[in-house]
Amino acid sequence: MEDPRGGDPMRKWGSQLPQGVSLSWPIIARNKKSVTCNLREPDGQAIMRRLVAQADVLVENFRPGTLENWGLGYDELSTINPGLVLVRVTGYGQTGPYSRRAGFGSIGEAMGGVRHVTGEPDRAPSRTGISLGDSLAGTFAALGAVMALLARERTGHGQVVDSAIYEAVLALMESLIPEWELAGSRRERTGSVLPGVAPSNVYPTQDGGEVLIAANKDTVFHRLCGVMGREDLREDEDYRTHLARGQRQQELDRLVSGWTRTLKAEDLLARLHEAGVPAGLIYTAADMLEDPHFQARQAIVRLVHDKLGEFPMQNVAPRLSGTPGAVRSLGPELGQHNDEVYGGLLGVGEAQRERWASRGII
């Protein structure tokens, strides 16, 4: 449901082509239907109540209190539909002293801890290059919705799912909190490595390539030693255990780099794969489009865009064997499904829909 005066701001975000087409919206809104509704007006609120009566899940990302101000809080909506699951995505959650603050994904990434540990140690904190906080909050919101629907099977009642961006980021932060409180150790930016995990880094090749090798597990390190022709390292006290390798991370990286520089990337990868050592290139979009594994698993699918023609995008993940998902449609035009939803689902006649449109309700 979008504001009829302009729709979701994401329609204009991301890369834009000269045709005025966003390359983000077709992916972000794929498989969705677009209806417009002005929830600031009583008639728009009435439309929402009619839709809620037939809904399983309602997702909203207004500041806390906004739905309540419109008479659309969960207490009211659950009287219309006791089984309704209301998913609320905000920067800081529905409660607490910061709950009414405006919150974007970038702020949640900073507050949740991931910004502080991302980047090189001698530079300011970096971002990951994608809207990580927003995506994490959405993922946890979806997980919460599924959990609430499963609970409804037992109880017959819906509930509220409260997904805060900063908490979704915090959930990823492993042992960052007890490391500080119990060990007095504050995680810092460490670039391309995790402290104490070695060898696991990006290594140079003879032909100027870069190959990521992850051989920090004891058994995998033994395999790497065999490929390198350095079986002696397996029992060397300096490298024999995970702890010992972690303590000598830089010198071990220099040792591995000295070997990888003698081989071209393709030859290096072939040897590592054959030996069972996890390794790979750092892919760009071009690499993904050309890779036979991506092609075999249809990791990238193509739909037809009415202005751009063939439009490639990532496929559905994860994959279910019995009820597999699929990308059926690209992000819709604003209000594209007003007639289908309001006319078909709610049974509202064409004359009423035209009156709503003339008043800016839809």
Same domain, 274 and 145: no
- Are the C-beta atoms of residues 303 and 277 closer than 8 Å to each other? no
What span, in angstroms and rounded, lies between the C-alpha atoms of 148 and 57? Answer: 9
pLDDT digits (tens, 9 = 90+) for 122-180: 999 999 999 999 999 999 999 999 999 999 999 999 999 999 999 999 999 999 999 99
Does pLDDT of 18 surpass 90? no
Q: Quote the pLDDT of residue 29.
A: 96
Q: Answer whether residue 314 is part of any domain.
A: no
Q: Residue 73 sits in a domain of what CATH number?
A: 3.40.50.10540
Single out the residue in 282, 313, 339 at which a domain terminates: 282
- Are the C-beta atoms of residues 56 and 84 closer than 8 Å to each other? yes
Q: Answer whether residue 300 is part of any domain.
A: no
Catalytic site positions = 134
Same domain, 74 and 128: yes
Same domain, 264 and 165: no
Q: Answer whether residue 23 is part of any domain.
A: yes
φ/ψ of residue 132, rounded to 5: -60, -45
Containing domain of residue 251, as a range?
200-282
Q: Answer whether residue 308 is part of any domain.
A: no
DSSP letter for each residue of 44-111: HHHHHHHHHTT-SEEEE-SPTTHHHHTT-SHHHHHHH-TT-EEEEEESS-SSSTTTTS---HHHHHHH
Same domain, 44 and 138: yes
pLDDT digits (tens, 9 = 90+) for 255-313: 999 999 999 999 999 999 999 999 999 999 999 999 999 999 999 999 999 999 999 99
What span, in angstroms and rounded, lies between the C-alpha atoms of 11 and 125? Answer: 29
Same domain, 168 and 210: no
Same domain, 333 and 240: no
How many folded domains does the chain comprise? 2
Same domain, 62 and 158: yes
Same domain, 229 and 167: no
Q: Answer whether residue 306 is part of any domain.
A: no
What span, in angstroms and rounded, lies between the C-alpha atoms of 68 and 242? Answer: 54
